[in-house]
């Protein structure tokens, strides 16, 4: 059976990684910039989130869109916005012991990319993979939710706060998720 029978429109598994795999998402302030931006994209751009997990240095999600905006356009805007907001937060965050080091890493990466003015936060691309089959959807869903378990952050996927695993376990997570 084709996944389109359960989900309408195009669906993608996306992965975005911070430059140099910098573990920035160990601090709530940076995590919440990502969450607030995803929520904005849901409410204002038609982003549909089927599953997600935010790890210390990368984000995995299964996403689609409703309406006229394509996932690629929404995701491009999401990355551009979060990049700027997180850089500003690093500059303004009092008590961030790693701020100088992180800004140096992101500035160095930006200087080596003609498309970037100052700082580069996300690695190029988003490794978007189209999902067309139920089995592939289930595989990616399990991969996303098991990430924090395999990283030994939690014993049970649904106990990880920055993930949709709780939604699939019957609870309510931090973002609205279309459970399938």
Q: What is the pTM of this model?
A: 0.91
User: Which CATH code of 3.30.70.1290, 3.40.50.2300, 3.40.190.80, 3.50.50.60 fits the domain covering 3-168?
Assistant: 3.30.70.1290
| Closest C-alpha among 163, 125, 127, 176 to residue 25 | 163
Instruction: Give whole-number Cα distances, 165 to 14, 85, 98, 179, in Å.
Output: 17, 27, 30, 10
Q: How do residues 95-104 score in pLDDT, each as one tens digit?
A: 789 999 999 9
Residue 60 three-state SS = strand
Instruction: State percent of the chain over pLDDT 90.
Output: 78
Domain ranges of the chain: 3-168
| pLDDT of amino acid 3 | 45
Q: How do residues 13-43 score in pLDDT, each as one tens digit?
A: 999 999 999 999 999 999 999 999 999 999 9
Q: How confident is the model at residue 7 (pLDDT cuts 50, 70, 90)?
A: low
Mean residue pLDDT of the chain comes to: 91
Burial class (CB in 10 A: 0-12, 13-18, 19+), 20: middle
Q: How do residues 125-169 score in pLDDT, each as one tens digit?
A: 767 898 988 899 999 999 999 999 999 999 999 999 999 999 999
């Amino acid at each position: 059976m084709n996944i389109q029978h359960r989900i309408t429109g195009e669906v993608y598994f996306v992965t975005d990684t911070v430059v140099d795999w910098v573990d920035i998402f160990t601090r709530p302030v940076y995590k919440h910039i990502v969450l607030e931006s995803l929520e904005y994209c849901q409410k204002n751009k038609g982003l549909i989130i089927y599953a997600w997990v935010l790890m210390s240095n990368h984000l995995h999600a299964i996403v689609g869109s409703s309406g006229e905006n394509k996932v690629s356009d929404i995701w491009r805007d999401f990355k551009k916005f979060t990049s700027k907001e997180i850089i500003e937060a690093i500059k303004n965050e009092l008590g961030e012991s790693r701020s100088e080091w992180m800004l140096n890493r992101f500035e160095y990466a930006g200087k080596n990319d003609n498309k970037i003015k100052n700082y580069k936060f996300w690695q190029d691309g988003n490794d978007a993979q189209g999902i067309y089959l139920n089995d592939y959807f289930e595989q990616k869903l399990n991969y996303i939710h098991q990430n924090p378990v395999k990283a030994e952050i939690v014993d049970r996927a649904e106990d990880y706060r920055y993930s949709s695993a709780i939604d699939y376990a019957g609870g309510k997570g931090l973002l609205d998720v279309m459970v399938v």
